[in-house]
Structure 1
Amino acid sequence: MIETERLLLKKISEEDIDLIFEINNDPGCIEFNGWDSMSLEKCKDVIDNWIDKYKNSELIGVFCVKYKDTNDKIGMAYIIDYKEPNQFEIGFRLRSACWNRGYAKEITQGFTRYAENKLKANEVVAEVFRGNLRSRNVFEKLGFEESVHPDGEDGLIYRHAINKGKRLG
């Protein structure tokens, strides 16, 4: 489990299917994901795949994001291996009712500290579609450096090099 000032992030489970279904059927939430809405059965398959893929790692995977004080679920987030050793990708999807409250920033800061302290990461990376201004704003405000996606996709890569001793804004 990962804890921030207001949030708890715990590994995703089948109990989180309603949350995943809601997020993956909210037009605002899926606008920049590159896929259409999902059936309940597809959401179950996705959760089962996440659980299976990360069952041997207590440290990385997909997490359910909850309010610390009420335990209400507000979204999902992930920290997973990226392309190089000690390099991790982070991302998040929050219920649209929870946007513009600083939760994405808090998750990003929490994951970055976690990557540095627990995973001994050299770098934290986030892939963001060019048009996703909300997510881009989160990473830019925190001092992540922007670069073009190497696969030529309509995306950007935001990088935070931990080994340089930089702290998030």
Structure 2
Amino acid sequence: MADIGESGGFGAGASVLLETDRLRLRRFVPADADALVELDSDPEVMRFLTGGRPTPAEVVRAEVLPRLLRGYDRHPGLGRWAAVDRAGGEFLGWFALDAPTDGDGTQAELGYRLRRAAWGRGLATEGSLALVRYAFTTLGLRRVWAETMAVNAASRRVMEKTGLRYVRTFHLDWDDPIPGTEHGEVEYELLRAEWTAGDRGR
């Protein structure tokens, strides 16, 4: 894993958070707007988020990306980072450690969103493992958690491979529910004490 540095390839010059064998996670920059629009326009990528509806390009450019950029200063060490292929420099998606809305600085929510071309290669687990290590060793967080739809089996497998354990199933009220919401949402978590006691802490 790399310390903060400078990236090469896609988004050259952006600050790098960390690197894994195949991934480079770096800060988003304004020039990433097109890549984010493309990511959120794939109905399969958005299946368990919006039922497959794309995020409008104007929303990505005027709301989503500016919010991501502001977040780096608002919550130092946390946020969403562009995932870039270390070998070829292509944009693959993003990974996140999002600050909780209640302001609890001891925990963060793990998330990711990857292009379809990056699926099935273990990249989601690879990036998530690196962020969990960063959360506990660099940031000193107490807890990392993640949520997804109960029917999203692929994301649940990633959470389990990353070391998170199932906590609960809960139901939310949606104005415009998508298929599968009737089965609820699931929450997974990993505590630093558990991580330190396990293989990932050694």
Q: TM-score, normalised by structure 2?
A: 0.76
Larger radius of gyration: 2
Q: CA offset at residue 149 of structure 1?
A: 4.7
Q: Distance in 2 between matches of 1:81 and 1:46?
A: 16
Q: Distance in 2 between matches of 1:53 and 1:120?
A: 19
How much identity, in percent, do the aligned residues show?
Answer: 26
Q: 1:63 aligns with which of 68, 73, 81?
A: 81
Q: 1:33 aligns with which of 28, 49, 65?
A: 49
Q: Which runs of 5+ in 2 are unaligned?
A: 1-16, 173-183
Q: Distance in 2 between matches of 1:53 and 1:116?
A: 20
Q: CA offset at residue 58 of structure 1?
A: 4.1
Q: Distance in 2 between matches of 1:110 and 1:142?
A: 9
- 2:134 alignment partner in structure 1: 114
Show structure 1 runs of 4+ deviating over 6 A: none
Q: Does 1:14 align with 2:43?
A: no
Residue type of the partner of 1:48? P
Q: CA offset at residue 40 of structure 1?
A: 1.7
Tell me, what secondary structure is at the counterpart of 1:21? Answer: helix
Tell me, what secondary structure is at the counterpart of 1:109? Answer: helix
Q: 1:23 aligns with which of 36, 39, 57?
A: 39
Residue type of the partner of 1:68? R
RMSD: 1.9
Q: Does 1:76 align with 2:106?
A: no
Q: Which runs of 5+ in 1 are unaligned?
A: none
Q: Distance in 2 between matches of 1:129 and 1:31?
A: 10
Q: CA offset at residue 53 of structure 1?
A: 2.9
Q: Which has the higher contact order (CA 8 A, sep 6+)?
A: 1
**Paired residue total:** 168
- 1:98 alignment partner in structure 2: 118
Q: 1:156 aligns with which of 170, 173, 186?
A: 186
